Every structure is written in structure tokens, then in C-alpha cells.
């Protein structure tokens, strides 16, 4: 059954509190939602999120939508989503880069195909290994006392026992002190990691990572800019604490070079930056073959995008550093009728056809910048 239409929507959904990153503070998150409809009227839905417009990367919501509408959609119309791998191979030949755009259309095709077969999407990705996965939470208020209070409350609720701190903004030395105080408060009950979001130079990284390592941090994510591969290698060689590549770890070729030259020794996976769910499986295999630990990353997706990530992460053998797909907990609202389950410090992998989420079309219309429903 061929694809009849592809609709791309940009939604802006407010968060429950400001979420501070090195390059941007999120108060409303922009997500890109794809709906693909086949000739019988069955719909496949998917979502990818971006952060801070162009402050995180080149894939702004507006660019994702424009490039799908102009260049990718014509390659999908009339095609059978049962052949989604072949379709995406053809898209990759015709459209360079645009990994976020590729990821969201591939996921929507997978959702559509899985629904047509009445199976969970993970069955099309090799089958589920995990029923649930350990879930990290980012403490990003920027206030030490608030972060400690939040961490203690989530430990009490058995919601999270892995905490990440965003420390790329402001004085790095004060940020290190902030981290060490949080470790002193909850480190006997939780694992604490940090994410620098490329904000340090190598001199700063050497000083700060030494203090963080001595203080008990369990991982340091992307301390240097993406271009500084040699610096990442030097940090990896010097310190015992794992050095994670995130923004620099994009497609297959970049992951291979990171693994080959040890520009870090662990990898943050994100389907959007790899260009899709099947590409995520490939980069995970490269990392696994190199002996790298894996982390299931997040772009702060809503419930739909989180279900997409959870479905592929469920098929990957091991996540040494847990996964971070807590996005729905940060939103004031959701665009799905049902919600994801979080229990015993883990996220439960959603069941049901496709990604297991029922779309609330009224909410999509409410938050979309523009909305059209064309079934002609």
C-alpha cells in the first residue's frame, strides 16, 4: 500500500521549568512531527526534537520541515513503506546531510508499517531485548539547593538514580563546585554525570575533569568543541573517568573515526543525529565492536519522540550509562492520548502497534505553528 501524503508540523510546547544548557535555556521546546498516510488512510506518526533553533546545530525545525517538504516528500509518494530501508537508501543518495529530517520520515514509515501489521515497531528493528531501561534525569535549574532537592525527591519516588548536570554555561570552576556539592548530597544513592556541551577549551577541561574525577563523577560528556578530536583523545588517555562523544558522534563515518582514534571512549546515541533508527543500530554496533560504552541520549522529545527512541533502544544490547529519554516529564502537556510508564528508576518500553502511542490530534492542532489535514 503506497504512501499518499506526508505532512510535517512544527510544534512549540512549554516546559514545566526552565531547562538550562550551555547554548540555550529551554522554556518551550520545538518539535517536528511527521504524519505519513497510505492509500488506505492508515497513518504513521513520528517526532524528532531540536534545541534552541540554530544554537545546537544546523538542523533547525524550519529547515527540517522545508527540506522534507521540498526534497524528501517527492521521493516517498507512491512508495510502499514495507521497503523503508530501500526508500531511505534512495533518500540518502538524493539528499545530503539532513539527518534530523531523514530520521523523522523513516520513523513515521516504520510506525505506519508496524501498525499495518499490528505489531510493535521494535519487531521491525530486530526485536526487543529490554522490557525497561534505567532512566537518567538532567538537573538543570542552575541552582545547587534546588537541584539537590529535586534529586532527593526523585530518589524517594524511585523515579531516577542517575543524574546528569549541564555545566557548560557560566564559570567552569563554580560549576565544578556545584557538581561536587550535589555528589556530596546524593552520591551515595545515585550516579552523577556531567555534560559540558562543547563549552570548554582543553586547558579548562584538564583542570575541571581532574577535580570532577577526584570528586566521583562517573562520566564527562563532550567537554570540547566537536572539531577538537585530538583534544578529546588526549583527555581520554589522561583520565580514568569516561569521556563521552555526543555532538561530535553523528553519522557512521564520524563514529568510526572516533572509535578508531579513541576521540572519547563512550558514545551518546540519538536517532535524530544519526539519521534514523536503522542508522542508530549501525552506529551502536560500531561502538560495541570498539568496546565503547553506550548512552541513550535525548533531544528532549515529547511522549511520541520518546517512544520512538525507546523502541530502538530496547533492541540494543547494553547501555552502560543508562538512557536519558525523560523528555515527557519536562513538558507541561503532551500530544498523545496515552502516556509512557516510568517505574523503579526505569522507563517501560511501550507496547501496542507501531510506537504504541495514540495521537491527540486536537493537541497537535493546538501547538502546531500551521496545521493542515489534506486527505485528497
User: Among all residues, which ones are annotated catalytic?
Assistant: 166
Residue whose entry in the numeric block shows the C-alpha cell 503506497: 2
Which one-letter DSSP state was computed for residue 69? I
What separation in angstroms does the CA of 20 have from each of 23, 46, 325, 343?
8, 26, 16, 26
Residue 365 CA to residue 68 CA, distance in Å, equals: 20
Q: Where is 139: in which H helix or E strand?
A: strand 136-139
- Candidates 1, 3, 132, 36; CA nearest to 354 is 36
Q: Which residues pair with 20 in a beta bridge?
A: 25
Four-point Cα dihedral 143, 148, 154, 158, nearest 10? 150
Pairing of strands 136-139, 162-166: parallel
What separation in angstroms does the CA of 307 have from each of 173, 288, 302, 311, 353?
37, 23, 9, 6, 12
Strands, sheet with 342-343, edge to edge from the N-terminal-most edge strand: 132-134, 346-348, 342-343
Q: Are 57 and 26 in contact (CB under 8 A)?
A: no
- Candidates 30, 53, 9, 102; CA nearest to 359 is 9
Handedness of CA 350, 102, 77, 123 (dihedral sign): negative
Residue 365 CA to residue 61 CA, distance in Å, equals: 17
Amino acid at each position: 500500500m503506497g504512501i499518499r501524503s506526508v505532512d510535517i508540523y512544527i510544534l512549540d510546547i512549554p516546559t514545566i521549568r526552565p531547562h538550562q544548557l550551555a547554548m540555550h535555556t529551554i522554556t518551550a521546546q520545538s518539535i517536528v512531527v511527521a504524519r505519513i498516510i497510505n492509500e488506505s488512510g492508515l497513518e504513521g506518526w513520528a517526532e524528532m526534537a531540536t534545541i534552541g533553533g540554530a544554537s545546537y546545530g544546523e538542523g533547525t525545525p524550519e529547515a527540517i520541515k522545508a527540506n522534507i517538504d521540498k526534497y524528501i516528500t517527492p521521493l516517498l509518494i507512491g512508495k510502499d513503506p514495507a521497503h523503508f530501508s530501500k526508500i531511505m537508501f534512495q533518500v540518502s543518495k538524493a539528499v545530503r546531510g539532513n539527518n534530523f529530517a531523514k530520521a523523522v520520515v523513516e520513523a513515521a514509515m516504520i510506525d505506519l508499517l508496524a501498525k499495518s501489521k499490528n505489531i510493535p515497531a521494535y519487531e521491525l528493528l530486530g526485536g526487543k531485548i529490554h522490557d525497561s531501561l534505567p532512566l537518567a534525569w538532567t538537573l538543570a535549574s542552575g541552582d545547587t539547593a534546588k537541584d539537590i532537592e529535586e534529586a532527593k525527591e526523585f530518589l524517594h519516588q524511585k523515579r531516577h538514580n542517575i543524574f546528569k548536570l549541564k555545566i557548560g554555561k557560566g564559570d567552569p570552576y563554580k560549576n565544578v563546585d556545584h557538581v561536587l556539592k550535589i555528589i556530596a548530597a546524593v552520591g551515595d544513592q545515585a550516579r552523577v554525570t556531567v555534560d559540558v556541551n562543547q563549552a570548554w577549551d582543553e586547558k579548562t577541561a584538564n583542570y575541571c575533569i581532574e577535580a570532577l574525577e577526584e570528586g566521583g563523577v562517573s562520566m564527562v560528556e563532550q567537554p570540547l568543541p566537536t572539531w577538537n578530536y585530538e583534544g578529546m583523545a588526549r583527555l581520554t588517555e589522561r583520565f580514568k573517568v569516561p569521556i563521552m562523544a555526543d555532538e561530535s558522534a553523528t553519522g557512521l563515518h564520524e563514529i568510526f573515526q572516533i572509535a578508531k582514534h579513541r576521540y572519547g571512549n563512550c558514545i551518546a546515541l540519538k536517532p535524530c543525529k544519526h539519521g534514523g533508527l536503522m542508522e542508530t543500530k549501525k552506529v551502536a554496533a560500531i561502538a560495541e565492536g570498539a568496546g565503547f560504552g553506550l548512552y541513550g541520549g535525548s533531544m528532549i522529545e515529547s511522549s511520541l519522540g520518546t517512544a520512538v527512541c525507546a523502541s530502538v533502544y530496547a533492541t540494543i544490547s547494553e547501555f552502560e550509562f543508562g538512557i536519558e529519554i525523560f523528555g515527557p516529564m519536562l513538558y507541561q502537556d503532551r500530544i498523545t492520548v496515552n502516556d509512557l510508564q516510568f517505574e523503579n528508576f526505569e522507563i517501560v518500553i511501550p507496547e501496542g502497534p507501531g510506537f504504541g502511542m495514540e495521537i491527540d490530534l486536537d493537541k497537535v492542532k493546538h501547538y502546531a505553528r500551521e496545521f493542515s489535514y489534506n486527505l485528497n
